[in-house]
Amino acid sequence: MQVTVQGNFVPVALVQLNPGEEIFCEGGLMVYSDPTVNVGIRPFTQGGFGQIMRRTMVGGLPFFMHVYQGPGYAAFSRLGPGEVRVLELAPGQTIDIAEHSLLLATNTVRYDTFYVPGTGRVGRLVGFWMDRLTGPGTIAYHGHGDILGFDLKPGETMQIDHGGLLRKDATVQLRTFNQPLGTGLLGHAMSFEAIHVEGPGRLELQTVDPTHHHQQG
CATH number at residue 164: 3.60.160.10
State which residues form the domain around 39.
2-216
pLDDT digits 0-9 by tens, 24-43: 998 889 999 999 999 998 77
Compute the distance between CA of residue 3 and CA of residue 25 in angstroms, rounded to an integer.
14
pLDDT digits 0-9 by tens, 66-124: 999 999 999 999 988 999 999 999 999 999 999 889 999 999 999 988 888 877 765 44
Its pTM stands at 0.84
Compute the distance between CA of residue 115 and CA of residue 88 in angstroms, rounded to an integer.
24
Q: pLDDT-based confidence at 4, cuts 50/70/90? A: very high
Number of folded domains that form the chain: 1
- CB-based contacts of 41: which residues, under 8 Å, 6+ apart? 64, 65, 66, 67
